[in-house]
Structure 1
């Protein structure tokens, strides 16, 4: 090797030696924090407290059973959507299921008390829906249809559609669904397989909600349903047939059947399709569930403080909300009297609504109503069985100090202080015996194990902030929610579809 080559080799060895030493001494470079996965972000002391509470209450960030529920793209759910929006299921063809349960309004109607068959304009849905002569004839607020497919215990404010689990003479566990048709704790042989499809059998039979004065010869609920099935199937007996009727084709496509209308278009199948549509409204993609699954940035510090209050017992300085609004669905499916203001037409001759006690007279059921899920609660105002509170701040205030918040409700004018009735000349008729009935509910609340949380103003704000984390992303996105709304390409078999563009009458 000549001198030039030797010199070149020596220089190469020197460079390699330097590179080797640098590699040995180099420290590994950490990923910038922004590239770390959410569950690797550093926990604050508050995150650690919440982690303990999440573990104590068995929360997973997943709602059990979601994968088993139908999708809106399923043919049966699509049929259910068409049925849900047709006024043909209204006795006088003036009201649809969607008239009081609009997907764009959190699955409800944004009214304190709903307006069914006596709407001034049947095609107006939402806050501007008005009653003829301002006459309110439905006593309870419209519950949301979101996530009803998860319900496995009961539906309606008083739980009158209910799954009963008992044992037979041999000691085997059996279950059945009881309804107003069968009576409390008695099996309804006509009930569907699910609570939500069974629920669909009842609004159509209510004169105030959907039936009106149609089918004058029908003396039972089942006869009303038979008339409706005959109308949709175009094998009616002359009572209310449809001028346009292409329902047989869409039923055949959904059921993948070529059966004749009389065997295919039954009310059982109508209710089943309606149930599939409502069950497809799975709205559980919330900031809170993402936080529980490990995304520590999903909640603000204020929302985390609210969560701590929510899941901490009153004796430990919290609000104790979790005692009724438990689990990943935020409900224990029970019934409880919280003495929310009584007003309106009520359900008895004294304008009172005693809730669950009307079907199950146990003393604890007096003025008790079903504990609703809090998922998407920010979208479903007004609140309570009669929509007495128009925002979540009032609801949280009631839990903290029921007497004071009730007094404020009546100081605002009771029914006359609510947006829906503020301009109505009839609003005072909704205040008849309202204070007396509310006081009775409040006396029972005082005698119950209920303890007011007595929260400071900032704590109440924190709780409201937390409740905002329970809203599904799609549920509040107008573009996303359109999947559950008929569009120009959706079949309109009878030309009686609710004009969904007229959300508030504009």
Structure 2
């Protein structure tokens, strides 16, 4: 009997102890970890090594697709009327055909829209080189009141409220909570995939097709710095737009002006000697990206060559010696290429057009 009473007492005591203890926390249901699918960006055989692939933002199939949607997403503008793709139009090799970019409020930018092909091979962005990291470059146009005029924090709120984007962010970055950082990372991933390397020039360099004799002579002129003392004629273009990227990624004063309303690189560095200096962009797809120069002042390729041949301002402060020292005549004061040589150079420039780049469905607007 005593044993029975003792057992009952012990049971009651244990029950009392457990009833006074804090409730055990309910364990959350296990979630399936997200594993985005790695994407390998294939380097074209004639290209140099990739320059811009940060380890904290590896390319993934899901991240690139999210970036493509965001690139064409009008919620990234203040009044939901324009996207990155409004100024970077695929059919124009991701430019817009305007002298100066026009923002969502109808205001004109001070600069021409640059092509964004092959950005994975560059390490400075914008005409003035003001952006060093592609992940942050997109923040400027989105938040600039002249361009897309959107507060990125507000864009986060708008995207989070959709049915589409939380799931896409979760697949790409492992969280359905949208952040500014992941918006910019996704945009950078997509832009790194915008590779243009299938022009007739590329096919010629890879040995799969030949340029015409006229185009090949234009290429030689384009790439050659003239040396009249040995009768070597050249168009002097390759000193700034050389290599297989058709850009040496350098910055120059190319004799456009003697005073500088737009200070270019000088506004970034604060060095007066850098005023009027701008990035020499890649000329790939150049026949599709008129008008030309940082302010879109030249409507045609013919006007561009006329500038370098006849109309440069040699009195421009800080004009690049690569330009001033180039002439096809001994002691010549200008470039002095012939009309026939101009036509050959322009024929070569047309051979830089990559038709597959402007029609690739992987780069197109997913909302159409």
What interval of TM-score do these two structures reach, taking the shorter chain for normalisation? 0.7 to 0.9
Residue equivalent to 2:146 = 208
Q: 2:108 aligns with which of 123, 133, 137?
A: 137
8 Å contact kept, 1:66–1:282: no
Does 1:400 pair with 2:338?
no
Q: Of the candidates 96, 107, 112, which is equivalent to residue 94 of structure 2?
A: 107
Kindly indicate whether structure 1 or structure 2 has the higher relative contact order, using CA contacts under 8 Å at least 6 residues apart. 1
2-side partners of 1:448 and 1:379: how far apart?
Answer: 29
1:39-58 deviations in Å (ceiling 9; x for gaps)? xxxxxxxxxxxxxxxxxxxx
2:196 aligned with 1:283, yes or no? yes
The answer to whether the 8 A contact 1:335-1:365 is kept is: no
The residue correspondences of 1:357-376 to structure 2 (distance < 5 A) are 357-376=266-285
Equivalent in the alignment of 2:15: none
Answering whether residue 166 of structure 2 is matched by residue 248 of structure 1, we say: yes
Greater alpha carbon shift after TM alignment, 333-342 vs 372-381: 333-342
Shift of 1:380: 1.0
- Over the aligned positions, Cα root-mean-square deviation in angstroms equals 2.8
Cα 1:71–1:374, aligned 2, differ >3 Å: closer, same or farther? farther
* Aligned mates of 1:304, 1:273 — CA distance in 2: 40
What is the CA-CA distance between 1:228 and the residue it aligns to?
2.1
Partners of 2:251 and 2:278 within 8 A in 1: yes
Match of 2:254 in 1: 338
**1:448 to partner: Cα distance:** 4.4
Q: Separation in 2 of the partners of 1:312 and 1:66?
A: 26
CA deviation vs aligned residue, 1:131-177 (integer Å, no higher than 9, x gap): xxxxx43100010122122212x100000012xxxxxxxxxxxxxxx
What do the CA deviations read for 1:238-273 (whole angstroms, capped 9, x no partner)? xxxxxx543111212233x3x342xxx111100011
Q: Which residue of 2 aligns with 1:159?
A: 129
Gaps of 5+ in 1: 1-59, 120-135, 163-194, 215-223, 235-243, 343-349, 404-438, 491-499, 501-506
- 1:481 corresponds to which residue? 360
Paired position in structure 2 for 1:88? 75
Q: Deviations over 1:100-136 (max 9, x none)?
A: 11112210111111111124xxxxxxxxxxxxxxxx4
Contact 2:309 2:336 in 1 (8 A): yes
Query: Out of 39, 46, 58, which is 1:62 matched to?
Result: 46
Of residues 207, 229, 236, the one that matches 2:156 is: 229
Q: Are residues 371 and 351 of structure 1, via their aligned partners in 2, closer, same or farther at CA, if it must alter by over 3 Å?
A: closer
Partner Cα separation in structure 2 for residue 67 and residue 200 of structure 1: 18
Task: Tell me the distance in 2 between the aligned counterparts of 1:61 and 1:309.
Answer: 24
Of 311, 320, 337, the residue aligned with 1:455 is 337
CA distance in 2, matches of 1:475, 1:260: 32
CA apart distance, 1:364: 3.9
**Is residue 149 of structure 1 aligned with residue 67 of structure 2?**
no
Change (3 A) 1:199 1:68: closer
The number of aligned residues is 309
**CA shift in 2, pair 1:72/1:113, >3 Å:** farther
Partner of 1:50: none
Q: Distance in 1 between matches of 2:172 and 2:319?
A: 53
TM-score by length of 1: 0.56
Q: Using the alignment, how far apart are the partners of 1:335 and 1:75 within structure 2? A: 35
The normalised TM-score by structure 2 is 0.76
Task: Indicate if the aligned counterparts of 1:313 and 1:319 stay in contact, CA closer than 8 A.
Answer: yes
